Structure 1
Amino acid sequence: MGEILFLSHRIPFPPDRGDKIRSHHVLKALAGMAPVHVATFADDEQDFASEADLAAIAASHRLLRRTKPLPLAAFEALSGGKPVSLTAFHDRRLKAWVRDTLRDRDIDVIYVFSGQMAQYVPGTFTGRVVADLVDVDSAKFDAYGANAKGLRSWIDRREGRVLGAEEARIVRRADASLLISPLEAELLLSRLPPDLAVSAKVHAMGNGLDSTYFDPAVVKPEPRIVQSGGPRIIFTGQMDYAPNVAAVLRAIDRIMPAVRSACGHASLHVVGRNPVDALLARDGVNGTRIWGRVDDIRPWLAGADLALVPLEIARGVQNKVLEAMAMELPVILTPGAANGIDAVNGRDFHIADGDAAMAGAILAISQSAARRQAKGSAARRWIVENASWPAALARLPEFIGRSDARMNAVA
């Protein structure tokens, strides 16, 4: 067997956000089967601080700072008829490193993590290509465009259109295209040209969770959240990601007023790095605290009474939902946020559609300690029994064309 080239739009360390969590575990699994060479980008100095972790698992690697300004990426995209998100990740240095690695090493599989990185797969490569698209980005931008106005709407609709063409190109090129859930896989197939949809090798490969790490028994609640009024409601995530920002604004402006009208001490805690100015400006509004980045999300989850995930635009499986469930929190979420999680509504989590329904669910669950405990226990039980990374990645050897390979753990 040959070696593997792993192309990732962000360094898979530390695994502290949704895409990094998935890429981290996939990379570890691949490294347990063959030497892996990694080409990837850093967003900031904190990413570069994890380069030693990457070097410890990769046979070789190239980590570059992604510095291209968005206006320049947009200009290149418009002039070249390409998606902005594609040109934003184009780097001649990384392209040269990929070329040299393919020349000098016995690479027979290229694993593409996120569609932005498929541009680095040479047309001359004759080995196997696996494209882990995770979710359907073109559909996300279509949704952005439908909710925006004027120039913003035009930009998002264009991005959705050209990304759709790029997704079709990737699927046509790949030996296997992976999506995070069966629903997401069906969505991609429905957006492909009919002739391609018939022959496309599209599969679902979900996310897992380490329930021994996300366990309320192994951490102490964060004092700063415990000192707040209850019920203590938490939302976690990357807080410069547009769907997360929209969800938090919805919670602050439309859901929390109804909750606090019946329970005046209720508090909402927004925990995640890079909160945008619109969120920072709402710190203190309607019982809300914007905490920003934390080193460990578990104590914050342990100190909360329930998790709220009011995402209106949601693609793929939400790690924030799995983590909250593992930490024995009742989770109230939208139908989209429940995508790909085969838990039982009303037992393992509570799906609510609409601001009033979400506020009502918060009040109904939070007013009874016994009900909270029962919901939280059921949530964790489902995670322990149904969600794990070995189970989620069980078909990975098949997808990379090595069905007989064993995935050995890599520390």
Structure 2
Amino acid sequence: MRILWTLPYLPWPTTSGGKTREYHLLRNLAARGHRITLLVQSKTELDDATRAALEPWLERLIVVPRRPLRSVRTLLAVAFARPPMLASANGFSPQLQQAFETLLQEPWDVIQIQHSYAFQPFEAPLKQSGKPFILVEHNIESGLGAASYLDFPAWAKPFVRFDQWRYRQWEKRVFPLTRELIAVTEADAKGLSRMTSRATHLVVNGVDCDYYAKVCPDRYSRRLLFIGNYEYGPNVDAVQWALDHIMPKVWNIDPLVRLTIGGYALPPDWPQRWADPRIDWLGYVPDLRTVQREAAIFFAPLREGGGSKLKVLEAMAAGLTVVTTAQGCSGLTAIEGTHYLRGDDANALALSLAEAIEQPNRLADIGEAGRTYVRQYHDWSVSAAQLEGIYSRVHQQEDAQACA
């Protein structure tokens, strides 16, 4: 099929869960023979490394620059425009709209828009052309709450409530326009179905299981690992909660436990703020396997966010025992105590970590059970097959309508 795919970010390097998902789905669908044109509005320039990573999987790559967040146009739109904050920041781009209008003149089997917050430039061209499209929502944005506004000061709460109301109105406006609506977790699919009174399809988050298959974690290392993208507020909150409230309790029980913290956009002041020598600070890690094989446990103390967490799936695929919260395992059908360990407050998490790190054999059993689980339910080939099935159904419906 000829697929027109839009994104509000370049999916390389894979520094976030969203970028990782998009890159692997594009790669898997291209490997199945689909011809994809990717239209991107990006806040970063297209460099040679990104071009080399993406172009082998694409028929065309078209990148339009996004204006700075602090531009006058963006600030005015965020404050006064009908779309909510995220949609305003990613919208009102004449260059992107024109590029999309030009592409719509070509025949497409599938037009796929990622994220309702990126929809504004596409609305008028789609309405004018009458062409059906698919919308993929990684989260129900109006319900994310603190995950979207974590850095806002207390005095901005009235704007936060106003913007959440705007996003609910935006979803009510955008979702009925779609031919198909896709979610990444079963809970979100049910939530979207309740909002729209129509079926919402599921394309799960995944992991490249073969890539992580040969990782052998060091169950005796007494080392915990957390990896995140720190442009995303919930990851910042997770580290702060862990270091202020959880790890002191762990170290009171077992002072030999070590913690590795890495990921993209790591705040430079953190090593001084938490200057404990048992913490190892890393920046962006291009190959997670190098740190996964040194750890005994992947510790994900997430309190905010949505969807399912690719960092958790990647840890499971590497055979690491995951210790996390209800939020950290959201969107998964994994079984607590079999595939991962869970605690939802600082005391429970600290006790779970301290007990588990003393039991290497138990870590091995849970880690390998988690590895088996993600291979069966969350390999990217599973996600690509789910998406391909939706494409086929849409194409059959269009053929049936054409014949009628």
Aligned residues: 390
**Bigger Cα displacement from structure 2, 259-268 vs 107-116:** 107-116
Equivalences for residues 87-126 of structure 1 within 5 A? 87-90=88-91, 91-103=93-105, 105-121=106-122, 122=125, 123-126=127-130
Equivalent position SS for 1:15: coil
CA distance in 2, matches of 1:267, 1:138: 38
Deviation per residue, 1:135-167 (Å, 9 max, x gap): 111111366669966333233333322122222
Cα 1:254–1:46 change in 2 (3 A) is: farther
* Equivalent residue letter for 1:238: N
Equivalent position SS for 1:336: coil
Partner of 2:140: 136
Is the 1:282–1:288 contact (alpha carbons within 8 Å) kept by the matching residues of 2? no
Percent identity, aligned pairs only, is: 23
Cα deviation for residue 384 of structure 1 reads: 2.6
Equivalent position SS for 1:110: strand
Is the 2:25–2:380 contact (alpha carbons within 8 Å) kept by the matching residues of 1? no
CA distance in 1, matches of 2:191, 2:138: 12
Counterpart pick for 2:189 among 182, 185, 192? 185
CA distance in 2, matches of 1:155, 1:216: 49
Equivalences for residues 304-323 of structure 1 within 5 A? 304-323=295-314
Q: Which runs of 5+ in 1 are unaligned?
A: 406-411
Is the 2:25–2:383 contact (alpha carbons within 8 Å) kept by the matching residues of 1? no
Cα 1:258–1:403 change in 2 (3 A) is: same
Cα 1:286–1:353 change in 2 (3 A) is: farther
Cα 1:185–1:402 change in 2 (3 A) is: closer
Cα 1:273–1:285 change in 2 (3 A) is: same
CA distance in 1, matches of 2:336, 2:223: 22
Counterpart pick for 1:215 among 208, 213, 232? 213
CA distance in 2, matches of 1:47, 1:280: 30
Is the 2:321–2:340 contact (alpha carbons within 8 Å) kept by the matching residues of 1? yes
Q: Which runs of 5+ in 2 are unaligned?
A: 397-404
Partner of 2:5: 6
Equivalent position SS for 1:391: helix
1:165 matches 2:166: no
**Could you tell me the TM-score, scaled by structure 2's length?**
0.88
CA distance in 2, matches of 1:246, 1:396: 33
* Equivalent residue letter for 2:90: F
Cα deviation for residue 57 of structure 1 reads: 2.4
Equivalent position SS for 1:128: coil
Is the 2:221–2:294 contact (alpha carbons within 8 Å) kept by the matching residues of 1? no
Cα deviation for residue 95 of structure 1 reads: 1.3
Is the 1:179–1:205 contact (alpha carbons within 8 Å) kept by the matching residues of 2? yes
1:35 matches 2:39: no
Partner of 1:408: none
Counterpart pick for 2:237 among 246, 253, 259? 246
Cα 1:280–1:368 change in 2 (3 A) is: same
Is the 1:146–1:153 contact (alpha carbons within 8 Å) kept by the matching residues of 2? no
Deviation per residue, 1:66-104 (Å, 9 max, x gap): 34224642321212132121122232212111111112x
Counterpart pick for 2:369 among 363, 368, 378? 378
* Equivalent residue letter for 1:212: D
Cα deviation for residue 267 of structure 1 reads: 1.8
Cα deviation for residue 15 of structure 1 reads: 3.2
Deviation per residue, 1:278-331 (Å, 9 max, x gap): 635434248333312122111111111101111111301100111111111111
* Equivalent residue letter for 2:78: A
CA distance in 1, matches of 2:46, 2:60: 20
Equivalences for residues 312-391 of structure 1 within 5 A? 312-391=303-382
* Equivalent residue letter for 1:107: W
1:21 matches 2:20: yes
Cα 1:273–1:88 change in 2 (3 A) is: same
Partner of 1:274: 265
CA distance in 2, matches of 1:250, 1:117: 31
Partner of 2:401: none
Cα 1:142–1:15 change in 2 (3 A) is: closer
Cα deviation for residue 263 of structure 1 reads: 1.1
CA distance in 2, matches of 1:295, 1:144: 26
Equivalent position SS for 2:110: strand
Cα deviation for residue 115 of structure 1 reads: 1.8
Deviation per residue, 1:49-72 (Å, 9 max, x gap): 312333332222211333422464
Is the 1:208–1:388 contact (alpha carbons within 8 Å) kept by the matching residues of 2? yes
Equivalent position SS for 1:172: helix
CA distance in 2, matches of 1:15, 1:364: 33
CA RMSD of aligned residues (A): 2.7
* Equivalent residue letter for 1:152: A
CA distance in 1, matches of 2:232, 2:117: 17
Cα deviation for residue 48 of structure 1 reads: 5.9
Partner of 1:61: 61
CA distance in 2, matches of 1:276, 1:189: 39
Cα 1:380–1:184 change in 2 (3 A) is: same
Partner of 2:400: none
**Bigger Cα displacement from structure 2, 176-185 vs 141-150:** 141-150
CA distance in 2, matches of 1:65, 1:49: 17
* Equivalent residue letter for 1:367: E
